[in-house]
Structure 1
Amino acid sequence: MHVQNARRWAPRGTRPWIAVAAAVVIAAVVRLLLHPLIGPVMPSATFGVAAALIEYYFGLAPAATVMVLGLGIADYLFVPPYAQIDVFDRRDLILVISYPLITLIIITLIERLRRAQFRAELIASVAQSRYEMLLRHDNERAIARRAVDETHRLLRHLAQHNKAFILIQALERNGAVAINGASAPGIAGVRLALPSEIAPGPRYADVHPEDIQRFWNGLWPGSHRVRIASSNGPSKLVDCICERFTTHAGDFLVLRIGD
């Protein structure tokens, strides 16, 4: 995979150049402190280390700047004759050839490694984003599949218990009564579209008015004792079951006479 942004891994702005100035000063101070001990040996060593560190954290251009500045400072202060620019001998030639060559090889290798690392991080970030998108899509499909299954179960339930069906009530997701004039498909002559929150079933008219009012005030899943008119005379208590169905069209409570 070709990633063009891989070469833009280094930070931008003024911070890299402040780090360049600090690295050059620190490298010069350390070399000055070591000069009484090692003399003219390895005059550019500290500047090479500084260039490598700057390359790792800030990129190729700041590292090359440290290398060039370090070359001038090392040749002027740490190659005999010291503090003279009018003399150019074999020692100066060795420094001018060896120091840039070695430093360029090191910072070039570090640059390639940093680009490869940044490229791998970009690819991993893209892969993570795509994986999260796939997970969300899978969750959405699972929720939709569950809603469809619940809808089919609701329709089968209404068809199976049509004669024992009392009412159906639509709820919001938080459980409060929601619809006003909602509509739903009819099952076996059961009318589900009414200008109210409760749609009646075949046995709705047989329920005692006080129980109807109780259902309007609040209905919940579970067992209920309902007074239903009988053909022999007064109403009698009947065990009823209220079940909740979660579908893509919303949540529904279905109240029916128990088996």
Structure 2
Amino acid sequence: MTHNLNSKRWCSNKSQGYVIAIFGVLVAFSMRYILHPFLGSSLPLFFFQINTILIVYLFGVGPGLFTILMSAPLMIFYFMEPFGVLSVVDQRDITTLFVYLSYTLLSSFLVELLRREQYNSKVAMLVSETR
């Protein structure tokens, strides 16, 4: 069927997704910054991962990758020890970033594939109803 070619079009407002992605990163940063006195250096990426997964679910992998690019520097500078200082990246920082990137990218691409399949099944249902 030719509707598989249109699977990338499941989200019609991706440009709006980039604006909402910026807002989502700001919200995630604010929540983590407010809880920073309680959390310290633990869970530096939790709120950013939730934001990225939600953005991918709603707007696709493009805006999701944009949130990753915005979140990583904020996370490194504000929520990884030493706080508020650009210092030499050590093994622990590399491990944290690897976990953040691998988990978030994997879940983002899986959500994108699921949304495409959902769109394909919706189009197939509409095509079958017209026949």
1:125 Cα shift? 0.9
| Structure with more of its chain in helix, by fraction | 2
CA distance in 2, matches of 1:49, 1:112: 18
Unaligned runs of 5+ in 1: 131-259
Matching residue's letter, 2:39: I
1:108 Cα shift? 0.8
CA distance in 2, matches of 1:100, 1:129: 43
1:13 Cα shift? 5.3
- Asked whether 1:50 is paired with 2:51, we answer yes
CA distance in 2, matches of 1:82, 1:116: 42
Q: Percent of pairs identical after alignment?
A: 28
Aligned 1:118-157 pairs, distance under 5 A: 118-130=119-131
CA distance in 2, matches of 1:13, 1:100: 22
1:79–1:91 CA contact under 8 A, matched in 2: no
| TM-score (norm: length of structure 2) | 0.93
Give the equivalent residue in structure 1 for 2:106. Answer: 105
CA distance in 1, matches of 2:75, 2:15: 25
Give the equivalent residue in structure 2 for 1:12. Answer: 13
| TM-score (norm: length of structure 1) | 0.48
Give the equivalent residue in structure 2 for 1:25. Answer: 26
1:48–1:99 CA contact under 8 A, matched in 2: yes
CA distance in 1, matches of 2:15, 2:99: 30
CA distance in 1, matches of 2:64, 2:37: 27
CA distance in 2, matches of 1:76, 1:94: 16
Unaligned runs of 5+ in 2: none
Give the equivalent residue in structure 2 for 1:220. Answer: none
**How many residue pairs align between the two structures?**
130
Aligned 1:178-197 pairs, distance under 5 A: none
2:53–2:104 CA contact under 8 A, matched in 1: yes
Superposition misfits of 4+ residues, deviation over 4 angstroms: none
1:16–1:58 CA contact under 8 A, matched in 2: yes
- Asked whether 1:88 is paired with 2:74, we answer no
Alpha-carbon RMSD: 1.3
Q: Higher relative CO (CA 8 A, sep ≥ 6), structure 1 or 2?
A: 2
Task: State the structure with more CA Rg.
Answer: 1
